[in-house]
């Protein structure tokens, strides 16, 4: 699947199993989780997508980017 490279803004490839993002233009290679964090930190428009990785948020807030980073290792 084609997605936008967060580094050079050209087309990057998301693997079929959604595990790896690769950009042949700038040689970027990272896991999809790293890609999500990179995009969220680079563009505040997408910071809410971090909620997709926190499990059930019933009765909780998603927290800040710093909170999420400290919990994700």
pLDDT digits (tens, 9 = 90+) for 4-58: 998 999 999 999 999 999 999 999 999 998 998 888 777 766 666 666 655 555 5
Contact at 8 Å (CB) between 23 and 7? Answer: yes
Beta strands (DSSP E) in the chain are: 2-4, 11-14, 20-23, 28-31
Instruction: Sketch the domain layout of the chain as residue ranges.
Output: 2-72
In the sheet that holds 20-23, the strands lie side by side as 2-4, 11-14, 20-23, 28-31
> Which uninterrupted H or E stretch holds 41?
helix 32-42
pLDDT at residue 11, rounded to an integer: 95
């Amino acid at each position: 699947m084609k997605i936008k490279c967060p580094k050079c803004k050209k087309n990057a490839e998301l693997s079929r199993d959604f595990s790896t993002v690769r950009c042949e233009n700038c040689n970027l290679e990272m896991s999809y989780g790293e890609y999500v964090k990179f995009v969220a930190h680079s563009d505040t428009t997408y910071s809410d997508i971090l909620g997709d990785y926190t499990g059930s948020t019933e009765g909780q807030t998603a927290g800040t980017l710093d909170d999420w980073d400290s919990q994700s290792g």
